[in-house]
Structure 1
Amino acid sequence: MKILHTADWHVGKVLKGRPRMDEHRAVLGELVERVWHEDVDMVIVAGDLFDTSSPTPEAQSLVMRTLLDLHEQGERDVVVLAGNHDNAHLFDAYRPVLGALGIHVVGTFRRPDQGGALEIQARSGEDVRLAVLPFLSQRYVVRAAEALGGTAAEHNRLYADRFAQLTAALTKGFAGGTVNLVTSHGTMPGGAFGGGEREAQSIFSYYFEPTAFPVSTQYAALGHLHRRQQIPGPCPIWYSGSPIAVDFGEENNTPGALLIDVEPDRPARVTEVMLARAVQLKTVHGTLEELSALPDDGAWLRVIVEEKPRAGLAELVREILPNALDVRVDERFRPVSATRAKGTTPGAARSPRELFRDYLSATGKDDDRVTSLFDRLYDEETN
């Protein structure tokens, strides 16, 4: 049978004040066309369909229309699970209506006999066993009493152990002669971040191990990390990546999805599917003269100006490059505070990173993990 694995659509995303709904319409339309062209038997959407837990009516309309187009009036099975950006309870509210149409939706964790372990006969004839684990919050997986004590490493171990226990319960029905699949949304150690993931739900206590998936699994379809990649493990484990670059930290990612060929008792064969309709994100550097010589290729731009700052500089850049969403001055050209230069006020021009590290040091709370989390959150807010 053939499966299309996709995730991390982030419909409703706004980049530096610029709505991207038209891009999402284009790229999801391209995804539907590829599904029809390849004539796949099943589509798995592994979470983060929306960018926020309160999606607009326009965002919901586009997602619903896309799911219906993928399902194509019963021509193929479609399985959808909630990611950390999604509202799991909203997904559960969709479940009865979409379920009546033949689209499988899982918002919150479900027991095997209540929709967590699907048994499907593919139109190609194979019997499919599919374990579905939507994003699991730390609060859900680790009991409150346990979360009050212990270290971050102990919490991580608890989360990973509980995730493995839940996975074992959902995969208990895996057998020879069936196509055995797992889909989930979360972080695996060793995975490369794409740039736009929500870091606070990607590190420390949110890791789970590849060994959670039994060797009888033909394919594990994951969402959350936006860079398409395979994770070493006892079975084929893949992140599909996002079909659209969510922010400038992902400008080097290749948007796409994964096409899976699988049959009972054999590991899946995986082919990357490229999608080209999303607008490219690019970072460009230069003086105003150099920037004015750049060709207009339609990309959204982050512009690093290699000149001294002055009033109206950003407006001049946007006159030259109308697609400039983010304009900043190269740090080499930023003025240094005179008081800092004289050494009279050491903290006057220090960066937020430096100030945070100074605070941790002064309070005796130095911790590389905390500074790493701060750096990632700071990058998310400023990039």
Structure 2
Amino acid sequence: MRLLQTADWHLGRTLEGRSREEEQERVMDEICTIADEEEVDAVLMAGDVFDTVNPPAVSEALFYDTAQRLSLGGKRPVLIIAGNHDSPERLEASKPLAGRQGITIVGKPILQPLTVPIAHTGEKLVLACVPYPSESRLNECLSLMNDEIAIKKAYNDRLSDLFLEHAQSFRKETVNILMTHLFAAGGKESDSERPIQVGGAYTVHPSAFPATAQFVALGHLHRPQTLSDSPVPARYAGSPLAYSFSEAGQPKSITVLDAKPNVPISKREIELTSGRPLIRWRAENGLAEVYQWIDEKRDSEAWIDLEIRLDEAMSMHDIQALRKVRPHIVNIRPIYKGNQALGNQTARSNLPIDQLFIRFYKNQMDGAEPGSELVQLFMQLIEEDEAEREVAVGRAAHETD
């Protein structure tokens, strides 16, 4: 049987307030196209369908449309678990209708795996589904085992017990896969992932994965990666789009698995190309260099994180003009060349107040000089403050008399 592994769609997510809706629509379409072209027998979605527990309506509509397309009207099983960003209840709300389309949604950890017949091969997929196992959700599930000792164990050990409970249903004549959403030790993180481990407490060691699983389909980490120290093959599919500049230059992909009972699973990546790349620009020669790159149409389709070296502070006009000619510049971080120690040749107490402000500003802004209008505004605020103090002192003296 051929399976498609994907995860961490984060529908509804923005980039520093910039909408990614169009990109998300395109990449969902690309995933559906790949599933059809590869003649995939089932789709595994390992959590974080949405970016928030209360996603916008347009994101929910995109999810329903994508799931229906992937299911081919009920002919192809689509198996979805909740991630730490999802509301299990909200995700499961569509189960009655989704089930009629061959879409299975699991919001909270369960004790028994799903058994999924694959019509094309006549084989069965046994899928151990463990959605994001928070402390409360994990304990709620384990309490059904009536094992008080298990609930008192460390987090890693409790999950290991739950995985082993699922693994009791694995058979030699079935394809046996564990799908879960968590942070596994050894995985490489990105800034765009909301942490789910606190002081390492929610970190799971790959040794907790059941040895009888042929593959572990993971969600949560956005970088596509295979765990090197796992006793069984375990892979994060990664997010279909880059969601922070810490992912700049990372290729995004889905994973295709070819699986047979009692045989090692083969896997391959198919790169996704629909999203705008995230690129970091470092302009050592000021605005002129940036405008030269723009004229050359450098990275014309990318979201840009710009660091620019300057002699003096950028004005709001400069920033607005730059974003007008390249709207996809997300961040602008000036680095000023004149950042030098100012020394203590003149005692602070002997400096006029405006010079003290200029000195403070240059220290805070890496050597950039404040404009004359800013200095005048500061002096005006100082004068107003002194006037208010004189009035207050006068009132206090009058009340004393």
- Class of the TM-score when normalised by the shorter of the 2 chains: 0.7 to 0.9
The equivalent residue for 2:320 is 315
The equivalent residue for 1:327 is 332
Identity %: 30
SS of the equivalent of 1:35 reads helix
Quick one: structure 1 residues 235 and 350, their matched pair in 2 at CA, closer, same or farther if it must change by over 3 Å? farther
The equivalent residue for 1:192 is 188
SS of the equivalent of 2:177 reads strand
Letter in 1 for 2:328: N
Cα distance, 1:18 vs structure 2: 0.9
**Post-superposition CA distance 1:89-148 (Å, at most 9, x none):** 112212222123221100112231xxxx101111221121110000011343469xxxxx
| TM-score, normalised via structure 2 length | 0.77
**Contact kept in structure 2, 1:291 and 1:320, CA below 8 Å:** no
Alignment pair present for 1:211 and 2:204? no
The equivalent residue for 1:379 is none
Quick one: structure 1 residues 44 and 291, their matched pair in 2 at CA, closer, same or farther if it must change by over 3 Å? same
Q: C-alpha separation between the residues in 2 aligned to 1:331 and 1:185?
A: 44
Instruction: Work out which of the residue numbers 272, 278, 301 in structure 1 matches 2:304.
Output: 301
Q: C-alpha separation between the residues in 1 aligned to 2:176 and 2:103?
A: 19
Quick one: structure 1 residues 302 and 269, their matched pair in 2 at CA, closer, same or farther if it must change by over 3 Å? same
The equivalent residue for 2:162 is 166
SS of the equivalent of 1:64 reads helix
Quick one: structure 1 residues 221 and 305, their matched pair in 2 at CA, closer, same or farther if it must change by over 3 Å? same
Structure 1: segments with no counterpart, 5+ residues: 144-154, 352-383
CA RMSD of aligned residues (A): 2.9
Cα distance, 1:318 vs structure 2: 1.5
Structure 2: segments with no counterpart, 5+ residues: 141-150, 350-355, 366-401
Q: C-alpha separation between the residues in 2 aligned to 1:89 and 1:338?
A: 62
Cα distance, 1:200 vs structure 2: 4.7
SS of the equivalent of 1:54 reads coil
Q: C-alpha separation between the residues in 2 aligned to 1:68 and 1:255?
A: 23
Q: C-alpha separation between the residues in 2 aligned to 1:228 and 1:342?
A: 57
Quick one: structure 1 residues 218 and 293, their matched pair in 2 at CA, closer, same or farther if it must change by over 3 Å? same
**Post-superposition CA distance 1:122-175 (Å, at most 9, x none):** 1221121110000011343469xxxxxxxxxxx998111111111111221111
SS of the equivalent of 1:205 reads coil
**Post-superposition CA distance 1:198-248 (Å, at most 9, x none):** 125476111112122222211110000001111132211000011100111
Letter in 1 for 2:246: G
**Post-superposition CA distance 1:174-194 (Å, at most 9, x none):** 111110011000101110113
The equivalent residue for 2:84 is 84
Q: How does 1:227-376 map to 2 (within 5 A)?
A: 227-231=223-227, 232-286=229-283, 287-294=286-293, 295-296=296-297, 297-307=300-310, 308-312=312-316, 313-330=318-335
Cα distance, 1:321 vs structure 2: 2.5
Cα distance, 1:320 vs structure 2: 4.2
Quick one: structure 1 residues 338 and 266, their matched pair in 2 at CA, closer, same or farther if it must change by over 3 Å? farther
**Contact kept in structure 2, 1:84 and 1:201, CA below 8 Å:** no
Letter in 1 for 2:17: G
Letter in 2 for 1:301: I
Letter in 2 for 1:214: P
Cα distance, 1:38 vs structure 2: 0.2
Quick one: structure 1 residues 309 and 263, their matched pair in 2 at CA, closer, same or farther if it must change by over 3 Å? same
Quick one: structure 1 residues 162 and 93, their matched pair in 2 at CA, closer, same or farther if it must change by over 3 Å? same
Cα distance, 1:331 vs structure 2: 6.6
Cα distance, 1:316 vs structure 2: 3.4
The equivalent residue for 1:43 is 43
The equivalent residue for 1:12 is 12
Quick one: structure 1 residues 342 and 306, their matched pair in 2 at CA, closer, same or farther if it must change by over 3 Å? farther
SS of the equivalent of 2:184 reads coil
Letter in 1 for 2:324: E
Largest Rg, 1 or 2 = 2
Q: C-alpha separation between the residues in 1 aligned to 2:341 and 2:34?
A: 53
Q: C-alpha separation between the residues in 2 aligned to 1:119 and 1:43?
A: 14
SS of the equivalent of 2:183 reads coil
Moved more, 261-270 or 317-326: 317-326
Letter in 1 for 2:37: H
Letter in 2 for 1:107: G
Moved more, 320-329 or 275-284: 320-329
Q: C-alpha separation between the residues in 2 aligned to 1:67 and 1:163?
A: 29
Moved more, 133-142 or 287-296: 133-142
Q: C-alpha separation between the residues in 1 aligned to 2:153 and 2:233?
A: 23
Letter in 2 for 1:169: E
The equivalent residue for 1:368 is none
SS of the equivalent of 1:72 reads helix
Q: C-alpha separation between the residues in 1 aligned to 2:343 and 2:198?
A: 40
Q: C-alpha separation between the residues in 2 aligned to 1:111 and 1:337?
A: 67
The equivalent residue for 1:371 is none
Q: C-alpha separation between the residues in 1 aligned to 2:185 and 2:265?
A: 22
Q: C-alpha separation between the residues in 2 aligned to 1:264 and 1:207?
A: 30
Give the number of equivalent residue pairs: 334
